[in-house]
Amino acid sequence: MLVKFIRFFVAILMMISPTIPHTFGLPAIPKGQNLDLESRFELVWSDEFDGTELDRTKWQYNWWELQRKGGFWHEDMVDVKDGKLVITTAYFEGGLPVPEAYHDYFEKHPTTKGYKGGWYTGCVETRHHYEGLYGYYECRAILPKSTGMWSAFWMMNDGVSNVDGSGKDGTEVDVFESMYYKDMWWGAGDAVVSGIHYDGYGEGHQGDSIGKWFANNPYEEYNTYGVEWSPTEYIFYINGVETGRLSKGGVSQNPEYLILSCEVAGANGVADADRHGTGKMSMKPGDTAEFIVDYVRVYQYK
């Protein structure tokens, strides 16, 4: 009942002005244009996750950063089953072993931080397998139920690190991030955020966001999250309804690869932070949270 009241209250605010909910830190309800997928786009790449293991012709495990914020990325936390990609977040007191395929890497890079006890989750990316330029990018997913962590569908390329005052050479495009499970009790947690980042992640970093937007019971039900990327702007969608547009810094003109990931709030492998509204980790050792992805699809303009 409280969730319905919050949505009704937000709807009233949006009748006055679509920007008012964001002024009060509330999510807004998608009310923009409907995506015209059939007449404007054609499918050029997809993964329906119909097999029994990750399709290594389409994805690779992300292992270049084993220790990720307050947790660790490990390929054992990624599974394909029942037609879904599942990234699980769980605690391992003694950590997990380094996959055999990476032993040579660690011998050559002895200073690389390895695995230790803590929260483990996963990340997969299409780098070296598929990179797209413009079009419409979408995933259908159920979000992981826990504070202190978040899931995401995003795009990257190496030009993001260039500090030159422009996003044209590469932009991190966050199609969605799920950081607000902690607000479930008062009805605003059924929301995701979308945004962009460019000019690296240091002092020169720049970015922009469209704010929080409601999805439909996203921790229990499937929703689609997409972005239309043209030479002039990014248009974000939830369930085929526009949420916002961004073009700050200039739109990326370079091909980008796709990423599906979960991350734990914190630093140095310790989950002890409230990052961007996640709250601190609510799960205890023995608990798990799952990011379930039904499909990822890429469409190009006809």
Q: Of 99-113, 219-233, 244-258, give the lowest mean pLDDT range.
A: 99-113
Closest alpha carbon to 210 in 228, 192, 226, 187 = 192
Per-residue b/e over 202-240, b at no fewer than 16 CB within 10 Å?
Answer: eeeebbbbbbbbbbeebbeebbbbbbbbeeeebbbbbbe
Per residue in 48-61, pLDDT (tens digit) is 999 999 999 999 99
Q: Cβ distance 271 to 119 under 8 Å?
A: yes
Q: State yes or no: pLDDT of 179 exceeds 70.
A: yes
Annotation: CATH topology of 32-301:
Jelly Rolls (2.60.120)
Confidence of residue 16 (pLDDT cuts 50, 70, 90): confident
CB under 8 Å to 120, separation ≥6 — which residues? 71, 72, 73, 74, 76, 77, 89, 90, 91, 92, 95, 96
Q: Cβ distance 130 to 47 under 8 Å?
A: no
129-149: average pLDDT: 97
pLDDT value at residue 14 = 62
pLDDT value at residue 98 = 79
Give a three-class secondary structure readout of 165-196.
CCCCCCCEEEEEECCCHHHHHHCCCCEEEEEE
pLDDT value at residue 191 = 95
Percent of the chain past pLDDT 70, that is, above it, reads 90
**CA-to-CA dists, residue 165 to 134, 157, 170, angstroms:** 21, 16, 11
Percent of the chain past pLDDT 90, that is, above it, reads 77
CB under 8 Å to 182, separation ≥6 — which residues? 147, 189, 277, 278, 279, 282
161-179: average pLDDT: 97
Per residue in 48-97, pLDDT (tens digit) is 999 999 999 999 997 667 889 999 999 999 999 999 999 999 999 998 88
What is the average pLDDT value for the chain, to the nearest integer? 91
Region for 250 from its dihedrals, namely left if φ exceeds 0, alpha if ψ lies in -120 to 50, beta otherwise: left
> What's the token pair of residue 60?
């690779």
Per residue in 214-227, pLDDT (tens digit) is 999 999 999 999 99
Q: Where are the domains of the chain?
A: 32-301
Q: State yes or no: pLDDT of 25 exceeds 90.
A: no
